[in-house]
C-alpha cells in the first residue's frame, strides 16, 4: 500500500518523466513541456509506492468556489492499482480545506476515433462522481475538443449570504 505526499521540489522533472511514459495520452513534447512549466507554481501531490512516485497530480485553485485538477497521470505499469483514486481523495481534501464547493477537470472529449485510453480516462472520472458538464470544441484546438467535468464536494460547506 502506498501513501500520498505533497511534492515540493523537482516537480517539472517528475512531470516530464511520468507524462513521457504515457505516449498514448501525451504524445506532443510541447504539451509535456508546457505542463511541466505550469505546475511549478501549483500544489502538486504524488502517490508513492516502495519509494517510487507512481502517480502525479497538480491542482489549480479557482477560489473561492472551485479547485481544478490541472494534471493527473499514473505511470503505465501502475495503472489500475488505486493511485488515481488516492490522488482524487487528496484533491477533495484540498478542496474542502480551501473552502471550495467544486472539483473540476478538463479532459479530451470523445471525437469519433478509436481511443480506448481516453475512454478509460473519462470512465475513471465518471466512476468517481464527476459529471460531464460541457464540451468546448476549440478551447485547446479544433482537433482536441475539451470535455469539462465537475464534481460537487460533499459535506458541510460555508454558506454565503447575498445582501
Cα separation, 62 vs 105, in Å, equals 12
Cα separation, 112 vs 52, in Å, equals 36
Name which of 14, 2, 83, 21 is nearest 42 in CA terms: 14
Model pTM? 0.89
Tens digits of residue pLDDT in 61-73: 998 899 999 999 9
Say whether domain 3-143 belongs to CATH 2.40.160.40.
no
DSSP 8-state assignment for residue 161: -
Name the residue ranges covered by the structural domains of the chain. 3-143
**Mean pLDDT, each 10-residue run in order, the chain (163 residues):** 95 96 90 93 96 97 94 95 96 96 96 91 96 92 92 67 39
Amino acid at each position: 500500500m502506498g501513501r500520498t505526499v505533497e511534492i515540493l521540489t523537482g516537480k517539472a522533472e517528475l512531470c516530464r518523466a511520468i507524462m513521457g511514459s504515457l505516449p498514448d495520452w501525451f504524445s506532443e513534447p510541447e504539451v509535456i513541456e508546457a505542463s511541466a512549466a505550469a505546475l511549478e507554481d501549483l500544489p502538486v501531490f504524488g502517490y508513492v509506492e516502495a519509494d517510487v512516485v507512481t502517480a502525479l497530480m497538480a491542482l489549480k485553485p479557482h477560489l473561492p468556489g472551485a479547485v481544478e485538477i490541472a494534471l493527473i497521470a499514473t505511470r503505465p505499469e501502475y495503472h489500475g492499482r488505486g493511485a488515481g483514486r488516492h490522488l482524487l481523495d487528496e484533491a477533495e481534501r484540498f478542496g474542502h480545506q480551501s473552502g471550495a464547493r467544486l472539483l473540476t477537470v478538463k479532459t479530451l472529449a470523445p471525437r469519433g476515433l478509436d481511443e480506448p485510453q481516453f475512454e478509460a480516462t473519462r470512465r475513471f472520472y465518471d466512476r468517481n462522481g464527476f459529471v460531464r458538464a460541457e464540451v468546448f470544441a476549440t478551447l485547446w484546438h479544433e482537433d482536441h475538443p475539451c470535455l469539462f467535468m465537475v464534481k460537487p464536494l460533499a459535506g458541510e460547506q460555508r454558506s454565503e449570504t447575498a445582501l
